[in-house]
Amino acid sequence: MSVVAFPFPAPVEPRLRRIGRIVAVGALLCVAGGVLAVPLLWSSDEMLRHWIATQSPLGARPFTLNLSTRLAGALISLIGLAPVLYALLQLSMLFSRFARGEVFVTDNAWRIRRMGLALIANALMSPLVQMLTTLNLTRANQPGQLVVMFGIEQSHVLSVLSGLALVAFATVMADAVRMWHENSEII
């Protein structure tokens, strides 16, 4: 861990500490909610049918729900959710450090970088997860009713661009902390 102490330490405002605690806890609650939502979704016929009709590319196409499609669907969903959960954990750790008053440290830059990489991974995995989900839900259909859908949406492109921006920001932040540290050793 590289912690840089600035020459004139300014106490962190209570507002930043409060925001840090709120975001850190909120991100952990989102992780818990995401993990709990997957089995709830795949175990409820009503919720699953509503999700397929409104959110899935299957829409009104025929699909089959049985134990194997539910278990495989839950597993596919958890795999697709993994980068989001990782990014939320990194966000929680980042804001926990903010709450402790550790703002300009190298580890924070690396956490921001990991969040950016997780956004990129999520955007790249989403079309594959969508395709596997449609295949899974239609694999037990009558012959000729298997559906394969693969699509890239605008949100995927925006997620990649946002991830790249976070990676660039983290690189600049890490370099700034490193240069400040090197310069403070010279003085």
DSSP string, the chain: --BPPPSSPPPPPHHHHHHHHHHHHHHHHHHHHHHHHHHHHHH-HHHHHHHHHHTSTTTTS-----HHHHHHHHHHHHHHHHHHHHHHHHHHHHHHHHHTT--SBHHHHHHHHHHHHHHHHHHHHHHHHHHHHHHHHHTTSSTT---------HHHHHHHHHHHHHHHHHHHHHHHHHHHHHHHHH-
Check residue 80 and give its pLDDT. 96
Check residue 87 and give its pLDDT. 98
pTM of this prediction?
Answer: 0.84
Domain positions in the chain are: 14-186
Distance (Å, rounded) from C-alpha 70 to C-alpha 16?
A: 43
How is 19-54 classified by DSSP, letter by letter? HHHHHHHHHHHHHHHHHHHHHHHHH-HHHHHHHHHH
Token pair for 95: 């804001």
Mean pLDDT across the chain: 88
Token pair for 142: 């009558």
Token pair for 53: 């009709």
Q: Which of 127, 129, 24 is nearest to 73 (CA)?
A: 129
Distance (Å, rounded) from C-alpha 185 to C-alpha 110?
A: 22
Look-up of token digits 């959710």: 81
- pLDDT tens, 34-65? 999 999 999 998 988 888 877 777 777 788 88
- pLDDT tens, 59-100? 777 888 899 999 999 999 999 999 999 999 999 999 999 998
- Asked whether residue 10 carries a pLDDT value surpassing 60, the answer given is no
